[in-house]
Structure 1
Amino acid sequence: MIRSVTLASLLTSALLLGGCATAPAPQSPVMQAHAQTASTPRSGVYYEIFVRSWYDTNGDGIGDLNGVTAKLDYLKSLGVSGIWLMPINPSPSYHGYDITDYEAINPQYGTMADFEHLLAEAHKRGIKVIIDLVINHTSNQHPWFLAAQDPHDPHHDWYSWATPATDLSAHSAAGDKAWQALPDGRHYLGIFSPGMPDLNYDNPAVRQAMVDVGRFWSRKGVDGFRLDAARHIYLNFQSQEGDPDVLRENLTWWRQFMRGVRAVNPDTYVVGEVTESSWQQLAPWYGALSAVFDFPLATRLVDAARSGQAGDLAERLQQRYAGFAASAGHAGADAPFLSNHDQNRVMSQLDGDAAHMRMAAAMLLTLPGHPFVYYGEELGMRGVKPDPDLREPMRWERSPHAAGETTWKPSTSGDGPDVSVQAELADPGSLLADYRMLIHWRHQVSALRDGALTAFASGNTHVVGWQLRDAHSRVLVLHNLSGQPQSVALGAGSPFRAIGLASRDGAQLHDGRIDLPPDTSVVLE
């Protein structure tokens, strides 16, 4: 089976030595053919990194870009195809979402030469790099905003200013007050905080400046961007929620941005943070961007893992993937995830239940598109708001004082030394081993990355399933979400006649039925 002693031993040796070997796993002849004929050997999985918390190479307690480079072989062994770096630009804040220079590197993280070296080393390993693009607003310390406070400066119109007719009590679309005060009594639009004044995208100079920022980084060699607050370029007030004209303005701008960056790199991947509550609201964005993060699906996946109930998850998946394919013009355009830097960590949402965490991961990583994994998720790191506690240091060694561990903030999660790369490498039954196994399934079976999804009616409330089909493979994925054995009838004439991959020993296919051990996922061919 996939979960063998051989896998565990190769995982340990490859990662401890910093290597990137892929552990061989026994496969059926059909699965071998799938792996050989797949259009790409990559998994399609992206991994989100908060550089400050990742790995420290100069001993100042703060993660740095050289630390990302130092751990590329870990990421290669994990099997990811790309990384998303949270903001790396200069900023007065710890998180970096208020930028003071769009074409420079935060000096706490290193230099532009360090970043260029990271890009080169990542690309050598077949790992793409996308960076956070925070252009809805600047820092209030950005030179543009400082200049804009002079009404006669050209930058004044790069921001939005209140007039005598403005309702200064208006609520922002982000939930707080929209207008922020200067000491002289004037007010400017800042929907997230006083430290983040919104740019005025009705000004052509602003639009051109931000296209130029994207082109600058594209010329550096980045493979794409994660767009922060993508829907808030024009959506500023609560009263504008659901306004089709605001949506149209947002999409028009992002199409302009996409044309600009793709003139440099036609393959630029752009994924937007669009915090809508349904897939129908997300679908229009797929015509303007490569993808958007699927927040509604994240909630559904975590809820299914927690409850052990399939509900109508498979049917909902079929609807949303069909809708996204219609908008994007191709299947597999989704960007599913479980949690990110703004949400309580998955293990905390699941109350520390490791079995539920494994099932959430299994569902995520058997969905087509580009799943995103938040750093430390593969270890089972915990964390609940406030936000700094969601972004705590990655644990590499059992000791938090080992060389390379970041110490910019103390841990509040209560995770012990067993929640570390060092400890989980030594445990063939660890969550880390599961993540690596599942991600490597995506290397082996192209339909897991690129397939069109069709719901499978399992007839069992504890088993969720879907068929995936592309030009190279057709598979049925089943997940037993419960802690008890479950059985599913495949139906007369089912084309699925063999278990190609299984997360646990003991699954059996006989007489048109499959028996699934507790908390087990299988891929049938």
Structure 2
Amino acid sequence: LDYLQELGVTAVLMLPIYDSDYYHNYFANDFEAVDPEYGGKEGYFELLEALHQRGMKLFMDMEIHYVTERHPWYTDSYGNPHSPYSKYIIYNGPGNTEPESIIFGLTALQSYDGDVIKICTIDLGNPQVRDYLYGLFRYWVDPNGDGDFRDGIDGYRIDHIMDDLDWKGKQTNLLSDFWKPLFQQLRQQNPAVKIIGEQAEWGYGKEYFAKGDLDAVFAFPLYMAVGRFNKQDLMNKIDSTFLSTPAGKHQLVFIENHDTDRFASVVAENPGKLRVGAALNILLKGIPSIYYGQELGMKGVKQEWGPTDANDILRREAFEWYQTVDGPGMALWYRDSGPWWDLTNLRDDDGISLEEQQA
């Protein structure tokens, strides 16, 4: 946190921290538990307190459209139409044996460790599901319910938010019917709460501001234009981005994140382009957002090893604290776990580490 504060960071966005068998935690086994690898709830609240003591904010990333086969709603309702959770998950046909797929028609996804885990879609139109999820969101804003928000998070990033979930026509008008009422409740609870939406189609976000009343979206068209290095295209995207943003709303400006190739790899480590990208990231109108290690020039591109979440590991490698890969505290959870380790971008004495750059 001292290092982040030295960089001038004012808010931290963590990817999902609830219990999940996936390394990225985007598909939950249990929405209420904090992954023990992150220290459980005790560790999470310690982090939150430390951030607030520094005057920094914490945003929680939430993906609540899907659950894994290890979630209680699934384990109790699969093959059991009489389960109290039978209508929490969308099943096709009788018998509760054909759960609705997630995006791209997936019904399971292989984890980097080889474990194939089923994933299914929950029914956001079910009033009981809605009440549960609304309560979950309210909890993290004020965990002990005393009206003192110092122990609560400062806002949310809503992952994969869209009006028609996965473009299937089965769960529609979600922005106005599900998300906007939730955001209104959260603002009534704590007027300082901010909501960021990751618009699923990577557009300008006009619909999300108009129908969902989000506070901010991600400047995806601008991100794509920066990587192309076409001056006219970039100027057009800048104009279109901010003309699409109502007064009082915001665009988060970025040049890389956990779902994209690292900018240093995109520009083949060209020093001039790296500086231009950094300048645009920080100086354009909007809220600048940086991905950990971007400031060091960390590298990484997506690979293709079939339908597995391992494809993105090289975009999400351990932050390079030290000059050597074996430095103390390096988060090499994926070491020697598959072909991605053979392609790791982490190298000793390559100049891409905090230790070397601060020397």
Q: Same fold (TM over 0.5)?
A: yes
State the match for 1:109 in structure 2.
38
Summarize the alignment of residues 270-285 of structure 1 with structure 2, pairs less than 5 Å apart.
270-279=195-204, 282-285=205-208
State the match for 2:223 in structure 1.
298
User: Matched residues in 2 for 1:323 and 1:296: separation?
Assistant: 11
Offset of residue 389 of structure 1: 1.4
SS in 2 for 1:334: strand
Which residue identity lines up with residue 302 of structure 1 in the other structure?
Answer: G
SS in 1 for 2:61: strand
The runs of 5 or more residues in structure 2 that have no matched partner are: 109-115, 144-151, 303-310, 336-340
Summarize the alignment of residues 30-69 of structure 1 with structure 2, pairs less than 5 Å apart.
none
State the match for 1:347 in structure 2.
264
Summarize the alignment of residues 371-450 of structure 1 with structure 2, pairs less than 5 Å apart.
371-385=288-302, 386-410=311-335, 411=341, 412-416=343-347, 417=349, 418-426=351-359
Task: Please give the per-residue CA displacement for 1:196-253, whole angstroms capped at 9, x wherever unaligned.
Answer: 2111011011111111111111113101111111117x4234x65xx9x93x333331
Which of 235, 249, 252 is the equivalent residue of 2:165?
Answer: 235
Which residue identity lines up with residue 165 of structure 2 in the other structure?
Answer: L
- How many residue pairs match? The answer is 321
Which residue identity lines up with residue 230 of structure 1 in the other structure?
Answer: I
Is 1:323–2:244 an aligned residue pair? yes
Is 1:369–2:302 an aligned residue pair? no
Offset of residue 294 of structure 1: 1.9
- Is the CA contact 1:103–1:216 (under 8 Å) kept in the aligned structure 2? no
SS in 2 for 1:254: helix
SS in 1 for 2:12: strand
Offset of residue 276 of structure 1: 2.3
* Larger deviation, residues 408-417 vs 344-353: 408-417
Task: Please give the per-residue CA displacement for 1:172-198, whole angstroms capped at 9, x wherever unaligned.
Answer: 7833x2567xxxxxxxxxxxx963211
Offset of residue 321 of structure 1: 0.8
Task: Please give the per-residue CA displacement for 1:96-130, whole angstroms capped at 9, x wherever unaligned.
Answer: 11112222211111131221111111111111000
Offset of residue 384 of structure 1: 1.1
- Is the CA contact 1:138–1:196 (under 8 Å) kept in the aligned structure 2? yes
User: Matched residues in 1 for 2:155 and 2:183: separation?
Assistant: 10
Task: Please give the per-residue CA displacement for 1:36-87, whole angstroms capped at 9, x wherever unaligned.
Answer: xxxxxxxxxxxxxxxxxxxxxxxxxxxxxxxxxxxx0100000011000111
SS in 1 for 2:120: coil
Which of 62, 77, 82 is the equivalent residue of 2:11?
Answer: 82
SS in 2 for 1:382: coil
SS in 1 for 2:119: coil
Is 1:198–2:128 an aligned residue pair? no
User: Matched residues in 2 for 1:111 and 1:160: separation?
Assistant: 30
RMSD of aligned Cα (Å):
2.3
Per the alignment, do residues 334 and 94 of structure 1 end up closer, same or farther by CA in structure 2, a change over 3 Å counting?
same
State the match for 2:75 in structure 1.
146
- Is the CA contact 1:231–1:274 (under 8 Å) kept in the aligned structure 2? yes
SS in 2 for 1:392: coil
Task: Please give the per-residue CA displacement for 1:327-363, whole angstroms capped at 9, x wherever unaligned.
Answer: xx326x1112112111111111112223212211110
Is 1:159–2:89 an aligned residue pair? yes
Is 1:217–2:140 an aligned residue pair? yes
Offset of residue 136 of structure 1: 0.9
User: Matched residues in 1 for 2:273 and 2:283: separation?
Assistant: 16
Q: So what's the TM-score if we normalise by structure 2?
A: 0.83
State the match for 1:135 in structure 2.
64
* Larger deviation, residues 144-153 vs 287-296: 287-296
Q: Structure 1 segments of 4 or more deviating over 6 A? A: none
Which residue identity lines up with residue 283 of structure 2 in the other structure?
Answer: T
Which residue identity lines up with residue 424 of structure 1 in the other structure?
Answer: Q
Offset of residue 390 of structure 1: 1.2
User: Matched residues in 1 for 2:106 and 2:357: separation?
Assistant: 46
Which residue identity lines up with residue 228 of structure 1 in the other structure?
Answer: D
Summarize the alignment of residues 461-500 of structure 1 with structure 2, pairs less than 5 Å apart.
none
Who wins on radius of gyration, i.e. which is larger? 1
Per the alignment, do residues 194 and 296 of structure 1 end up closer, same or farther by CA in structure 2, a change over 3 Å counting?
farther
- Is the CA contact 1:276–1:295 (under 8 Å) kept in the aligned structure 2? no
User: Matched residues in 2 for 1:213 and 1:278: separation?
Assistant: 28
Task: Please give the per-residue CA displacement for 1:442-473, whole angstroms capped at 9, x wherever unaligned.
Answer: xxxxxxxxxxxxxxxxxxxxxxxxxxxxxxxx
State the match for 2:27 in structure 1.
98
Offset of residue 316 of structure 1: 3.1
Is 1:356–2:282 an aligned residue pair? no
